[in-house]
Structure formats: C-alpha cells, structure tokens
Chain A
C-alpha cells in the first residue's frame, strides 16, 4: 500500500488508542484495592512488562537515543543510570516492601516510622517527584502529536491530557496494568523495527546490538568511522565524551538510586501475589527494559552517522531531503546562513542563542529565518535532540508505515508512564492524605471518588507543566530522579536494613536531603549559578547522589542520639525480612 505518512499515522495511532481504551473499559476498577494495586493479583511476567512500560517514558523512547547521539560516551549515564537501579530495587527494596504489604510508599514510611509527620513528608516527596516527572511526559506527548498529526505542540499536549485522563481515571491500577502490557508491546516493536532496518542498511547485521560494533561498507568499524567524522568537523570523539569523570559518576548514581526510589516504580511491586514474584518480576522488568536500552545506543550511533553524512554529502540547503524541511517546519531544526553561501556548515557550538524563534519571512535559499542573536562561531545548524529517534526512520528513508509506527510507539511510552504517575499522585491524595489523615472513616466509594478527582486535577496540572516546560524532556525527568534519590531511597533502605532507625532520624534525613537537592538544582538552573560554582564539579543532574548521602548521614546521626523505635516496630522490621506469611496487599 502506498499511503502517506499522515494516513498511516492516523491508522496506526487510532488502532492502538482503540486497543488501550478497550482494555481500560474491560478492566476498570471497582474497589480501592483494584484502583491502587490491581487487586494484588498480577502475574510476575505481566507485571514485568507493565513495569517496563511504566518505566520507559517519553524520555527513554524519544529523547534518550537523541541525547546519546549528541553526547557520545557520556550517554552512558542514562544507559547505566536507568537500568542499574533495578538491581537495587530487586535486591534491596521490592521483596521487603511486598512482604510489608500495603498500598503505597508513604504507607510504609508512615508505619515504619510510626509517625504521621513522616507520612506527610513522604506524601509531599511523592507528589513533588511525580509532578516533576509527569511534566516531561506531557511534553513528549506534545512533541509526537505536533509532528505527526501536524498540530501545534500545545494542542498535542491537550489531546494527550484527554486520553490519559480517560483511562487513568477510569481504570486505576488495574486498567493501567493491562494497558501498559499492550503499550509495552507497541513501543518495543516500534523501537526495534527501524533499529533493525537501519542496522542492516549500515552494517549488514540485523541485530542492532551487534551492528553497533559492526563494520560499515568502507570496511572500517562503524564507531571508528563516526569518531573520524567527528574529528573532521571538530567535535570530541564519539567514544570519548566530554563530561568529567566525577560528574559522570554522580549523575549515573543519582539516576540509579533515583530509579529505586521512584514511587510509581516501587508501587508496581505491590501488585504481585508473593514476595518471590516481586523479586522475579524486577528481573523480567529489567529484561524488557534492557531490550530497548541496549538498542538505544546503537540507534544513537547510527542516527549520528546518517545525519552527518547526509549533511556533508549534499551541503547545500536546497538539496536537503524532505525530512529536513518537515522538521524545520515544526521548529525543531533551524538553519541560519551566517556566511550567505547557501550551504549548511555543521560544526561544534550553538548557532545562535536559545531555542529558535522564527519570523514569518523566508531567506534567500527558502529557509525559515530566525530572530535569535547569532553566536560568533561558524556553526549554522540547530537540531533539537528530541527529534533524533522520531526523524531517524525518515533520515534512513524507511517506508511510511515504519515512520507512523514510531509515532505510535512514542505515544505509548509517554502515555503509559504518565498514567502510572497520575495514579501515584491520586493515590497519595485519596489514600495517604484523605483516608489516612483527614477522614479515616471515609467510605470505600468516597475514597474511590476522591482518587478519581485527584487524578483529574493532576492531569490538568501536568498539562500546564508540559506547556511551560523547564528544559529538554530528558532533563526534566533527570531532576525527578535526583529528588527521589535524595528523599525516599535512604528512608526505605534504612527502614529495612537498620532496625535502630527511628522517626526523628528518618524525617530529619528526608527533609535535609530534599531541601539540599532542591536548593542546589534551583540555584544552578534558575537563579543564574554557573558551572564554575559546582561543588566538586558535580552538575545539578548528579547532585541527588550527594543529597542521598547527606540524607543517610543525617538520619544515622540523629537516630543514634534519640530513643530507639518501639518494640512493635522493631518486630515489624523482623517480619518483613523473610517471605513467609506475606498476605495480599491489604488496607490494615
């Protein structure tokens, strides 16, 4: 069939949306237990798949390969950072939290630290982390919609809000879990098909992970060719990277620990029937995630090679292929002809200040003119990192249906994560705040109603974050990790492994860790702090690691100087350390 990209996109996106809505209606939640933890009866393999979809966000699908493509070796911070946390989850958290057997992370914090203050601090942390994270997802939805359905980004966000609203509010965790299983299948298929095509085109090897280390037509390894291209244009070698070792170390650690502290990931392990299932489903989740995460760096290298060779072969703006102009129309590519030669000079450095702002006029070669102040360097080309995965199939001239498939995959990734996060937000409000603190006598139906209202409000707020975003999709998400690392992770791990940890210690640790991390990020990102002032050369993205250490240090120091936790709490800690006797996730 010879349909246009547009038609294919409507067909495939429409079909997948119909599937999600069908599943959501089939498995809508009737009780709070179904709404919060899918009734606690999800098989481990399905839970692994749902966790993977929940986990792999718009950032993983759309932005990550693009970021790596521009970062080279430094992209490892995302690759290792967003997978290594599952080892921590499986070994240090998931089985014990499952044995504990409540609905939410604040439940654990509140009971373990026998304190409503601790519970409230945990709720605030959960809301903060989830909102930061969900903003990135809505932005991702907007990017996909605006490009493939050719509507403005803000309209894309509004459409996305409507869809998430529908099935998060209706289905709760039960609806979300099975929708996520479907979304995982869509997104991984959409990610792998172009990767395999391009791997064959460039290296003749159908497995991208092997093609990554394969040889191109000229007979040299792909990565050596790419290093060579980078050298010619004056970029740092692709396999070397430019961040300092300490910064790479801290960012990777912040992402790993943050992963293990994210409430929407942790809560997934409350949905399986047994402790044993919690352990193995972390393993399955990582397998499903690793399929994408080991392919992404291959795509990054392929895309980078294709991009540079396309521009270097043709040079002239007028000779650029169709995809170049399409993406220019969405404002994600911009070219400013500094030396008026009609040719594209692609060199290191930013071509102009800030993101491109276009006026309505066209330049000599027909390019859209930007009003931004030009920089002194010779680079003329602006490429938004977010488009690398989306444009990749077009750059490689793949069939139209593959391009449409990528749109559906990007939407699946963004929607599944957004839904998981909105659920955490609504649970925090209806269960941890209203049921546990404000009105313990609330009826099941009342609580469920509040959960749905909270989800609805959260969707709107998330949409606003998406319309006024504080940075690239992946960067926004990176902050959520720093905050999760600095708040939850130490409180939970110490709660399991340190019987002497008490409420004073845990609360002090969480508050200090969170405030320190927020202050550092806000100062260096929004109040004009510069890289020269970074402590030990640690960027705001990596500061969560230090926040985590401070949290743990403060918690240990304070707990040892205040009284031990009560006997019944110490017994509870004993109980969660072995699997026998884990009942269903329950309310009391």
Chain B
C-alpha cells in the first residue's frame, strides 16, 4: 500500500518534469522557430536574424540540453523514491 502511494507520487513528479520540459521544447522550436519567426527576425544575433537562428541552430542546441536535464532529474528522482536499478534484493515486485 505504502509502495503504491510512493509510486503514484513518483509518477506525478515525472509527469510534472515532462510537461515543463516539453513546454520548453515546444516554445523553442514551434514558437521561436516557426510561429514567431518574423517577429524575432527583426532582432539580430551576430550575422544571423534571431528567428532564422532558432529555426536552423538554436532549437537543436536546446533539444540536446533538454535531454541531459531530463536524465539528471530522473536519475535523482529514481534514487529519491528508491526505484533505481541498483542491483538489490528488495525489488518492488
């Protein structure tokens, strides 16, 4: 029973992480790179127009960062709720 509530809390936190990270994912690519591209193109980043830069470079860099942030968050979360894959005899099942 206790395990069950614990797992629910783990899953809820996971879903919260997912929604935050996927929101950033959406805003950077579809927002900055596509929907707002004309507005951002009035701003310059070196030799780039900013909207064009997000669409062809910036979004990709952001994707990489998002995955590594997710990996870090989840590895911590797994440990906190004791569901990580340490070789252990007290597996939850």
Contacts and interface: CB of A to CB of B under 8 A. Distances in A.
B15 to A, nearest CB: 8
A578 B10 contact: yes
Contacts of B14: 577
B63 A290 contact: yes
B33 A579 contact: no
B67 interface: yes
B45 to A, nearest CB: 7
B43 interface: no
- For B33, B81, B84, which residue has the most chain A Cβ atoms within 10 angstroms? B33
The binding surface of chain B is classed by DSSP as helix
Interface string A91-134: 11001000000000000000000000000000000000000000
A91 B53 contact: no
B24 to A, nearest CB: 9
Interface centre among B11, B49, B82, B91 (most CB of A within 10 A): B49
Interface in A57-108: 68, 73, 75-76, 79-80, 83-84, 86-87, 90-92, 95
A286 B63 contact: yes
Contacts of A252: 29-30, 33-34
Interface string B52-93: 110111011101101110110011001001111100100111
Interface in A203-254: 209, 212-215, 221-224, 239, 245, 248-249, 252-253
Contacts of A248: 34
A510 B47 CA distance: 46
Nearest to B11: A577
A30 interface: no
B75 A249 contact: no
A371 to B, nearest CB: 39
A282 interface: yes
Contacts of B7: 574, 577-578
A439 interface: no
B35 A91 contact: no
Contact of B93 (A87, A274, A283, A575): A575
A498 to B, nearest CB: 12
A275 B85 contact: yes
B19 to A, nearest CB: 10
B75 to A, nearest CB: 6
Nearest to B92: A580
A582 interface: yes
A279 B72 CA distance: 10
Contact of B84 (A87, A283, A294, A580): A580
Contact of B67 (A68, A224, A282): A282
A580 B22 contact: no
B18 interface: yes
A297 interface: yes
Interface in A546-588: 574-575, 577-582
A276 B48 contact: no
Nearest to B18: A91
B85 A76 contact: no
A294 B61 contact: yes
Given A282-B67, A578-B92, A215 B47 contact: yes
A10 to B, nearest CB: 36
B93 A80 contact: no
A508 B89 CA distance: 42
Interface string B15-49: 00010011001000110011101000100011111
Given A80-B29, A87-B67, A294-B57, 4 more contacts: A87-B22, A213-B48, A276-B75, A574-B7
15 contacts: A73-B52, A79-B59, A80-B29, A80-B55, A80-B60, A83-B60, A83-B63, A84-B25, A87-B66, A90-B71, A213-B47, A214-B46, A221-B48, A252-B33, A274-B85
Task: Return the 6 tightest CB-CB contacts between A and B, nearest first.
Answer: A221-B47, A76-B55, A213-B47, A578-B83, A283-B67, A297-B56
Interface of B: 7, 10-11, 14, 18, 21-22, 25, 29-30, 33-35, 37, 41, 45-49, 52-53, 55-57, 59-61, 63-64, 66-68, 70-71, 74-75, 78, 81-85, 88, 91-93
